[in-house]
Amino acid sequence: MEALLCRKLGDPTLDNSSIEVSKSVPIPELKSPTDVRIKVKACSLNYANYLQILGKYQEKYPLPFIPGSDYSGIVEAVGSNVSNFKVGDPVCSVANVGSFAQYIVADQSELFLVPKDCDLLAAGALPVAFGTSHVALVHRAQLTSKQVLLVLGAAGGVGFSAVQIGKVLGATVIAVARGAEKNKFLKSLGADYVVDLIYENVIESVKKFLKSRNLKGVDVLYDPVGGKLTKDCMKLLNWGAQILIIGFASGDIPVIPANIALVKNWTIHGLYWGSYRIHQPGVLEDSLKELLSWMSRDLITVHISRAYSLSEARLAFSAIKDRKAVGKVMFTLDDLNGVRSKL
């Protein structure tokens, strides 16, 4: 089968030898009676995948390995004890590695049936980005309709999902991004207010909006960016606010003063979504089921910035690295024109 291989650790946008597309990788076999083999249709490219190849991710993998995480596809073979799925079923899931390939094997317990009329390309983008935001906002912060949510990096892969989930939950959503195209996109998602960092000071701009709505401050800060922006936004937080630490796309890990957190009664949540698969898999299962339901009812929309072939991997990683993408970056491994769930 065809697969994207990481041969050595390094920046795939700079080092031509770090990744390569191989067409001679063995198709994975079913090793357990509950295993399912999926023909991958689409897989999501996340910032974490870039970190995997750089060797800077929380988990390390022996070389060579096939990167990848969330994906969607069609069941191609099932083990003798598989009862939840049959050949031809549309499914989505997430793997530690291995989804940037034409086939992948997963235990049936790790798979989710894609509902009727859901787009398979969108379903392949759902688990990590929307799952991260759903667990963060619903499970951890327990965001309510009376609260104000501030989303940093709001046009990125996880940011735009947080904006949408915030609106589904009825919160007042302030989105922070950079550039007219991203701001227009965020307004189309229903953000109540958008800050353009190119032209506006985030503190002054948000305070002006809050005053216009007779709101005291921000109740939940969703932060996949880090750096100076995090430090600045702390000045906007209410007493009792919650800070969701999602990632550090800026490359700069912020310092949150413990003395101010004490005085302001802030709650700081570190959120490594992948670790829930080990410690609380039931949370992820409930989360993804609700997200698939929301997607089937058009409550959330997965916006695809661009879909690449595996042979265009370096361009795809550049879009992630340079933060050029508006929404999700995807790999497609098959013709997805008009492909929807046929249940």
- Tell me the per-residue pLDDT of 105-145, one tens digit each, with 9 for 90 and over: 999 999 999 987 788 999 999 999 999 999 999 999 999 99
pTM of the model: 0.88
CATH topology for 3-119+303-332 is Quinone Oxidoreductase; Chain A, domain 1 (3.90.180)
Give mean pLDDT, residues 303-326: 89
Of residues 227, 273, 286, the one with CA closest to residue 69: 273
* pLDDT over 70, % of the chain: 97
Q: How confident is the model at residue 338 (pLDDT cuts 50, 70, 90)?
A: very low
- Dihedral (Cα; 73, 78, 81, 86), 10-degree rounding: 60
Give mean pLDDT, residues 189-208: 96
Of residues 183, 186, 246, the one with CA closest to residue 47: 246
Decide if pLDDT at 342 tops 50: no
265 neighbors 240 (Cβ within 8 angstroms): yes
Backbone angles phi, psi at 114, to 5 degrees: -80, 125
- What does the domain layout of the chain look like in residue ranges? 3-119+303-332, 128-274
- d(CA 336, CA 74) in angstroms, rounded, equals 12
- Tell me the per-residue pLDDT of 4-58, one tens digit each, with 9 for 90 and over: 999 999 999 998 889 999 999 999 999 999 999 999 999 999 888 999 999 988 8
pLDDT (0 to 100) of residue 341: 34
Q: What is the CATH number of domain 128-274?
A: 3.40.50.720
- d(CA 80, CA 331) in angstroms, rounded, equals 31
Angle at 43 between CA 87 and CA 227, to 5 degrees: 150
Q: What is the DSSP letter of 52?
A: H
- d(CA 240, CA 265) in angstroms, rounded, equals 5
